[in-house]
């Protein structure tokens, strides 16, 4: 017989890697059928993951694609948890200054200063 690869439950690994605040939240995601393990949809939190596996799941209005590097032994601090995986599709950075989503609002003092600075920059260039 061949030896089985060492593994860890997918819900426990997601919790240890700090993608979810509680293990039950990680289990709910898996049970919802929205998690892919190496491209296959899974719906059982007891499914094992091992190093080299790729997980794809929705998180905070984004789709996360994660490669499992290590299996953790505990839920440690964030820097330790970040060593457990590699983000294959890192989230895009948010712009430093964004326009307010409301188009029909009165500009605030901050908005007016930003518009004035923008116009001055255009005049000088």
Q: 73 in helix, strand or coil?
A: coil
CA dihedral in degrees (107, 108, 110, 112; nearest 10)? Answer: 40
Per residue, the 3-state secondary structure of 89-123, as one string, reads: CCCCCCCCCCCCCCCCCCCCHHHHHHHHHHHHHHH
Mean pLDDT of the chain: 87
Q: What is the pLDDT of residue 1?
A: 45
Average pLDDT on 112-125 reads 86
pLDDT for res 11: 94
User: What is the pTM (predicted TM-score) of this model?
Assistant: 0.69
| Whether residue 97 has pLDDT greater than 90 | no
Q: What is the mean pLDDT of residues 69-97?
A: 85
Give mean pLDDT, residues 62-76. Answer: 91
3-state SS class at 63: strand
């Amino acid at each position: 017989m061949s030896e089985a690869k060492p593994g860890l439950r997918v819900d426990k690994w997601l919790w240890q890697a700090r993608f979810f605040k509680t293990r039950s939240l990680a289990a709910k995601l898996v049970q919802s059928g929205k998690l892919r393990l190496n491209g296959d949809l899974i719906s059982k939190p007891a499914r094992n993951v091992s190093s080299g596996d790729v997980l794809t799941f929705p998180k905070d209005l984004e789709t996360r694609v994660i490669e499992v590097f290590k299996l953790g032994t505990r839920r440690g601090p964030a820097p330790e948890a970040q060593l457990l995986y590699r983000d294959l599709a890192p989230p895009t950075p948010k712009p430093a200054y964004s326009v307010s989503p409301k188009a029909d609002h009165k500009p605030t003092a901050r908005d007016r200063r930003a518009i004035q600075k923008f116009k001055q920059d255009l005049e000088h260039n």
